[in-house]
Structure 1
Amino acid sequence: MSALAIALAIPSAHAQYRGPVSETAPLFALDTPTSYANTPFTPPVESMVLPWERLVKRLNRHGIGIVVDYTSESAMVLNAGHAGDAGYAHQIGVELDLDWEKLVGWRGFVTHAVIVNRAGHNLATDLGEKSLNGFQEIYGGGGNVGVHLVYVYGTQNLLKDRMQVAIGKMPVNIDFANSPLFCTFMNKSNCGIPKSLTRTAAGYGTYPGSTWGARIRYWPLHGVYAQTGLYGVNPYLNTNQYDRTGFRMGTELYTGVYIPTEIGLIPSFGKNQLVGHYKFGVAYDSSNYRDLYYDAAMNPAAATGQPYRWTNGKTQLWLQGDQMIVRNGHGPLQGMYVLAGATKSQGENSPYDWQVYAGLVDRGFFRSRPKDTFGVEWSETFASRQLVASQWIRYRQGRSLPGNATYPQSHLMTFEATYNIHVFRGLSIQPDYQHIWRTNLQADKPQVDAVGLKIHAVL
């Protein structure tokens, strides 16, 4: 899942700094919530073509927002018996935002729509990596399709902007368990959201997939918010069995509802207004999932040969935080942020149990390069103990393993260092290095080093 990482300061009527503003269009126009700040009308991105930018700004004044951009991610393996293997993937995206107050006088109502074209090769598959890790986060659902509908939804601001209601066909991750800092990185483990959430519950629909749903966010105080949502669960999202293009609007394959709830705190410290974002969330998926160990008689299904029993529902938790510790200039991302977090999924029916991560993102470290961004991140994901126990039984019997594994799984670690170079208006080039331990969470897999290059251009 891609993020088009542009971040600019946007003045707020309620606070001098709004914190990290993710202008990730056309991925999604996500404003990480701060004091009374909700999903914005349209992201004011930097454009390569000045006449086009001037036209877009004129359209913005009349309630029409348009963003067109291109992102490519290329990566090459340096070792692990696959030296020289390389992959290229890209996304071309178009976002259309409409402010209906400016268009027809409907105060506080805005609609958002995104379509993308994705194509390319997933390098991770060359190494037998079929879990949540990937060298190119831009590759994923919606790949190799001419036109893919990501979302179409509307937001309504209420109570003097203290409340916002969103409804439509939309991903869960544009609002929950997200951070604009995640997609500083190319590795798929965290970009968009910690991938253990979406890979353990079909209800956590993530970009570029979407289901029908609704979300409500309320600000009782400046810098404090609570939000909850209700989304359809579609286990076939982004598959040919359902609708690879995203334009199928039916709910006949939905299996339940996904209900996430999140509480957030956005403090600001000292004269330099060092902004932080802290959030705790819990979600429940009402769908039925196969147990990873027991059969219907509560015996190990791998030993009895009986089908794994069905379980009803699963719960997920997340705890996340980021904090600016040094300010390098004026603006929400002009400084050094540290970030860390953890997710937990229900082990009996979730292939990935825990995921933990930590990192650092620094923008404007060099005064002569105020828009360059440096980042390092580490992430570790643990397989469910029930899954691992079942795999060991089957492995000792010489049988094939669940979880797309060739050896009992355990945990996966990734490390990434990246540097985003702002070349000129609307264009950035990002060299990248990744080191992976235990691809596909398997101890018998060698460590992998890979180098990559990300290019992002806005029309």
Structure 2
Amino acid sequence: MVSAWGNAVQNLNRKGIGLVIDYTSESALALDAGNAGDAGYAHQIGVQLDLDWDKLVGWRGFVTHAAIVNRAGHNMAADFGDRSLNGFQEIYGGGGNTAVHMVYVYGTQNLFHDRVQIAIGKLPVNIDFSASPLFCTFMNKSMCGNPKSLTRGAAGFGTYPGSTWGTRVRYWPMHGVYAQAGLYGVNPDLNTNRYDRTGFNFNTNLYTGVYVPVEVGLIPSFGRNQLVGHYKVGVAYDSSNYADNYYDVNGAPLALTRRAARMDTGKTQLWIEGDQMLIRNGHGPLNGFYVMAGLVRNTPESSPYLYQYYFGIVDRGFWRARPDDTFGIEVSRATASPDLVDTQWLDYAAGRKLPANATYPQSHISVLEATYNIHVCEGLSIQPDYQRIMRPNLQRNKPAIDAIGLKIHATL
């Protein structure tokens, strides 16, 4: 039956119809931090449809993309009072338990001998900007998809499975060099009941501004083994109004006056990211030993995080007998906005409840993760995982959490 399905998919591909059905589950078990034995399970069932209209009707360079998912489960990080960018199971989120969620629907048009591509429709920002196939080697939410301080730093940086109306233009002036820019709607209530948890609401009535990212990237290849690298620098501006972390409407500390926060117009984000293959283990684009590192900076006046930086290694195919197995280690740290921390210290000194779900003034959170993806057979992988979360919810009064996990991914 599996062979028959595979043959059917191949026949569809030849006709310009790409169909992928996959299942991902992520389970985590806490080993300590006062919640030993606590566990969480989350899954996603996804369906992706890509149509090549050149093969279908002769419309050269035009392809449409659509995806829906089912998500369900439990977020174990919430059991520790951690509502930060950390999450033991990256597959949890985007509205939580949702029977059917429309992720995106958009089209891409290639022009000028494929040197220019235009995308337009309802789509996430992170499928094009600050993107890397290495990020989702890992199971922790702080990295998978993109460094999550970008998403939490500005509502405009919409991330999978959320999407807003937008467009993106990418230009390749020469091989291995690209520049791209986008324009997206900003929806602070994306993936919420106030707007639409299912993703099928195409209305813009709750949009608060526009998000404009620009990114320049290099994809060099070194030596006879074609040691490929990916380097990118991006900057983005969100035109929406955001509450100031420290000042009230009159320019005084809001924690002292207890007045409404000042509304700041716009915020800026910056990311610098790169990875480089140092050893090639096979012919595939990811078959090798990679080092990766990056830095994200947000506007401190109105973002919960100032910096996030990370370092990691990913090694695929190092074991010749198992060329599709992948090993990875990553370390990530996110620091709280100093303006937000100053407000929290004033509230803490006054004995008031703190914002951001904190029980103590926040500082930073660090994540250490080691993972090994075992390729069982075509279309099936099993991934044991270990994570250590230091200062959960960015609080030094919370003990570190050690957890083990298991990720299962099956594709038809």
1:53 alignment partner, SS class: helix
Tell me if 1:457 matches 2:410.
Answer: yes
CA offsets 1:208-261 (integer angstroms, 9 cap, x no match): 000000000000010000000000000000001100100000000000000000
Q: Which ranges of 4 or more aligned residues in structure 1 deviate by more than 6 Å? A: none
User: Which amino acid in 2 is paired with 1:393?
Assistant: L
Match of 1:305 in 2: 258
1:355 alignment partner, SS class: strand
Match of 2:401 in 1: 448
Tell me if 1:148 matches 2:101.
Answer: yes
Tell me if 1:240 matches 2:187.
Answer: no
CA contact (8 A) 1:117 1:143 kept: no
Q: CA deviation at 1:143?
A: 2.3
Tell me if 1:377 matches 2:330.
Answer: yes
User: Which amino acid in 1 is paired with 2:35?
Assistant: H
Tell me if 1:65 matches 2:18.
Answer: yes
Match of 2:89 in 1: 136
Tell me if 1:84 matches 2:37.
Answer: yes
CA contact (8 A) 1:117 1:147 kept: yes
2:37 alignment partner, SS class: coil
User: Which amino acid in 1 is paired with 2:397?
Assistant: D
Aligned pair partner of 2:144 in 191, 195, 199: 191
The 2-side partners of 1:142 and 1:368 are apart by 41
2:255 alignment partner, SS class: helix
User: Which amino acid in 2 is paired with 1:358?
Assistant: F
The 1-side partners of 2:131 and 2:117 are apart by 18
Tell me if 1:161 matches 2:84.
Answer: no
Tell me if 1:321 matches 2:271.
Answer: no
User: Which amino acid in 2 is paired with 1:392?
Assistant: W
2:126 alignment partner, SS class: helix
Equivalent pairs counted in the alignment come to: 412
User: Which amino acid in 1 is paired with 2:363?
Assistant: S
CA offsets 1:72-91 (integer angstroms, 9 cap, x no match): 00000000000000000000
Aligned pair partner of 1:251 in 201, 204, 208: 204
Match of 1:176 in 2: 129
1:227 alignment partner, SS class: strand
1:415 alignment partner, SS class: strand
CA contact (8 A) 1:151 1:210 kept: yes
Q: CA deviation at 1:150?
A: 0.2
Aligned pair partner of 1:267 in 208, 211, 220: 220
CA contact (8 A) 1:345 1:352 kept: yes
CA offsets 1:23-57 (integer angstroms, 9 cap, x no match): xxxxxxxxxxxxxxxxxxxxxxxxx9222111111
Tell me if 1:426 matches 2:372.
Answer: no
Q: Normalising to structure 2: TM-score of the pair? A: 0.99
The 1-side partners of 2:50 and 2:282 are apart by 30
User: Which amino acid in 1 is paired with 2:94?
Assistant: G
The 1-side partners of 2:302 and 2:160 are apart by 23
The 2-side partners of 1:50 and 1:72 are apart by 24
CA offsets 1:351-387 (integer angstroms, 9 cap, x no match): 1000000000000111001000000000000000000
Q: CA deviation at 1:145?
A: 1.1
The 1-side partners of 2:88 and 2:241 are apart by 31
2:303 alignment partner, SS class: coil
The 2-side partners of 1:334 and 1:312 are apart by 45
Uncovered stretches (5+) of structure 1, i.e. residues with no partner:
1-47
Q: CA deviation at 1:142?
A: 3.5
Q: Normalising to structure 1: TM-score of the pair? A: 0.89
2:169 alignment partner, SS class: strand
Q: CA deviation at 1:435?
A: 0.3
Q: CA deviation at 1:109?
A: 0.3
The 2-side partners of 1:265 and 1:311 are apart by 34
Match of 1:339 in 2: 292
The 1-side partners of 2:255 and 2:193 are apart by 30
Match of 1:409 in 2: 362
